[in-house]
Amino acid sequence: MLKQTPLFDLHLESGAKMVPFAGYQMPVHYTQGIIHEHLHCRSHAGFFDISHMGQCLIRGDSAASELEQLTPSDITGLEPGQQKYTVLTNSNGGIIDDIIVTRNASGLMIIVNAACKDKDFAHLKSHLSDRCHFEDLPDHALFALQGPAAAMIMQKFSPETADLSFMQSCEADISGIKCNISRSGYTGEDGFEISVANHYADQLARLLLAEDEVEPIGLGARDTLRLEAGLCLYGHELTEAITPVEAGLQWVFKKGHSKFPGAHRILDQLQHGAERIRTGLVVDSKIPVREGSVIINNEAMPIGHVTSGSFSPSLGRPIAMALLDRSSASPGNILYAKVREREIAVAVSKLPFIPHHHYRLKKS
């Protein structure tokens, strides 16, 4: 039986095409389609229901130091209101999930991928000591408001959000509804993620969607937006068999931190380089190069595979991300993707494909 988010009725009212995703019925797109939604989010503002994602809270004095031992990142150094993107690693150095950790007044709030919710929560509970209190938050919905108009809209409802820098969060009150707002998202645009009690979810969503600049965006455009932004998607660029170094997530590491699962292998790769790494690919034709497509070099040697591939609405051409042998992964290198018995020329590209527009307050 598929679950529904608190916005299920609103999605249907908005003309959503619903599909099963990670155990939920979710909107893949609305009436105008993925390309329209994608471009609208890049030029105005998009509203995303991401309530299928898992939210939990870890409390206790040792919460940060214990969580830090499950990730390669600096969790103990998180200031109140600060967020961190990181990964939970397994003992082989693979990735259990990519998560967002926020230090707020009540503890460490963690957002995990919908499909990984059960295994993540079990992993956390089995590794955290009884000095930590673990609380699942299934009664909370999660939205994202993304795009160049997001800040202006958010400030209207919650003036305090004007002072948020990328990856900072605050508690706020929107028309009397208490929520947690962070300046974050997964599109490459400036924007916010809003956690709110299920009971008020529909009311808050309608408030935001009533704004002229805002249109609802489905999972389809969420995927093309994050792909253009060069961001990893669990199950594609990130799996239990891919390390954070291979995925190009070195930037989440805390210097000198070596007490996390799989550290031996991961730190060795960090020092000597991984044999394969994540890269971008731009396709020199209109033919989409999809996930699973084998990449060969000009000697017809297989050197990797595509992890995500789609059409880029912003660039008007197909783009992809791939895991490739490091020796072949230099930007500009011409390789070939196998698509239906054909070999399609692709060029290794730097990521992201579209520059990020995250908002960072200038420190005075």
The answer to the question of residue 216 lying near other proteins (CB under 8 A) is no
Max distance between CA atoms of the chain, in angstroms, equals 64
x/- mask, other proteins, residues 185-214, rule CB under 8 A, reads: ------------------------------
The answer to the question of residue 308 lying near other proteins (CB under 8 A) is no
Strand partners, 54: 112
Q: Please, which of residues 79-118 interact with other proteins by CB under 8 A?
A: none
Say if residues 34 and 135 touch (Cβ distance below 8 Å): no
Q: Please, which of residues 5-24 interact with other proteins by CB under 8 A?
A: 17
> Is the Cβ of residue 94 or residue 309 nearer to other proteins in the bound state?
309
Binding-residue total with other proteins (CB under 8 A):
19
The answer to the question of residue 282 lying near other proteins (CB under 8 A) is no
Q: What distance in Å separates the CA atoms of residue 225 and residue 104, rounded to the nearest whole number?
A: 28
- Cβ-based neighbours of 251, under 8 Å, separated by 6 or more: none
The answer to the question of residue 340 lying near other proteins (CB under 8 A) is yes
Kindly indicate which of the ranges 98-106, 118-126, 157-165, 307-315 contains the residues binding other proteins, using the contact rule CB under 8 A.
307-315
The 3-state secondary structure of the chain, one letter per residue? CCECCCCHHHHHHCCCEEEEECCEEEEEECCCCHHHHHHHHHHCEEEEECCCCEEEEEECCCHHHHHHCCCCCCCCCCCCCEEEEEEEECCCCCEEEEEEEEEECCEEEEEECHHHHHHHHHHHHHHCCCCCEEEECCCEEEEEEECCCHHHHHHHHCHHHHHCCCCEEEEEEECCEEEEEECCCCCCCCEEEEEEEHHHHHHHHHHHHCCCCEEECCHHHHHHHHHHCCCCCECCCECCCCCCCCCCCHHHCCCCCCCCCCHHHHHHHHHHCCCEEEEEEEECCCCCCCCCCEEECCCCCEEEEEEEEEEECCCCEEEEEEEEEHHHCCCCCEEEEEECCEEEEEEEECCCCCCCCCCCCCCC
The answer to the question of residue 305 lying near other proteins (CB under 8 A) is no
The answer to the question of residue 310 lying near other proteins (CB under 8 A) is yes
> Is the Cβ of residue 29 or residue 276 nearer to other proteins in the bound state?
29
Contact pick of 6, 27, 244, 313 for other proteins (by CB under 8 A): 313
> Is the Cβ of residue 37 or residue 97 nearer to other proteins in the bound state?
37
The answer to the question of residue 290 lying near other proteins (CB under 8 A) is yes
The answer to the question of residue 294 lying near other proteins (CB under 8 A) is no
> Is the Cβ of residue 261 or residue 313 nearer to other proteins in the bound state?
313
The answer to the question of residue 350 lying near other proteins (CB under 8 A) is no
x/- mask, other proteins, residues 315-334, rule CB under 8 A, reads: ---x----------------
Q: What distance in Å separates the CA atoms of residue 74 and residue 2, rounded to the nearest whole number?
A: 36
Kindly indicate which of the ranges 6-14, 191-199, 259-267, 311-319 contains the residues binding other proteins, using the contact rule CB under 8 A.
311-319
Residue 193 assigned as binding residue: yes
Q: What distance in Å separates the CA atoms of residue 219 and residue 26, rounded to the nearest whole number?
A: 7
Q: How near is the Cβ of 220 to other proteins at its closest, in Å? A: 6
Contact pick of 265, 311, 345, 359 for other proteins (by CB under 8 A): 311
Kindly indicate which of the ranges 7-15, 33-41, 101-109, 204-212 contains the residues binding other proteins, using the contact rule CB under 8 A.
33-41
The answer to the question of residue 55 lying near other proteins (CB under 8 A) is no
The answer to the question of residue 224 lying near other proteins (CB under 8 A) is yes
The answer to the question of residue 35 lying near other proteins (CB under 8 A) is yes
> Which residues belong to the annotated binding site for substrate?
193
> Which residues belong to the annotated binding site?
193
Q: Which residues bind other proteins (CB under 8 A)?
A: 17, 28-29, 33-36, 220, 223-224, 286-288, 290, 310-311, 313, 318, 340
